[in-house]
Amino acid sequence: MARSERTKSDRPVEARPGEQAPNPVWFKPIMFGFMLIGLIWIIVFYVSGATQLPIPDLGSGNILVGFGIMFVGFLMTTRWR
C-alpha cells in the first residue's frame, strides 16, 4: 500500500483546540456530596421538629440553606463531562 492510499484511521488522533479536558477525579464525589449534604440538612431540619437542628436561630431559613447547598451541586452538573 502506497503512502497516498493510507486510510483515515491510520492518522494519529489530535485533540481539537475547542475540546475541554475531562473533569478531575474529585469532581463527581464533591458534586454528589453537595447534593446529599443539602438533602440531609433539610431532612434533619424536619425530623428535629423544625426548631432545634441544624441551626436553631435560622428557623425556616434552614430550608433555604439546604436548598442552597443542593443548588451548588446541581450547578456543578452543568460542568460535568
* pLDDT tens digits, 33-67: 999 999 999 998 888 876 677 777 778 888 899 99
User: Does residue 1 lie in a domain region?
Assistant: no
Asked if residue 8 belongs to a domain, the reply is: no
* Domain presence at residue 70: yes
Indicate if the pLDDT at residue 69 is higher than 70: yes
| 73 domain residue, yes or no | yes
The answer to the question of residue 74 being in a domain is: yes
Amino acid found at 76: M
Tell me what pLDDT residue 17 has. Answer: 72
Give the count of domains, the chain. 1
- Listed residue (59, 62, 18) closest to 39, CA to CA: 62
Query: Is 0.85 surpassed by the pTM of this model?
Result: no
pLDDT at 49: 77
Domain coverage including residue 74: 49-81
At 2-21, the pLDDT tens digits run 555 555 566 665 556 767 78
Please, what is the Cα angle at 79 between 73 and 81, to 5 degrees? Answer: 115
CA separation for the pair 80, 71 (Å, rounded): 15
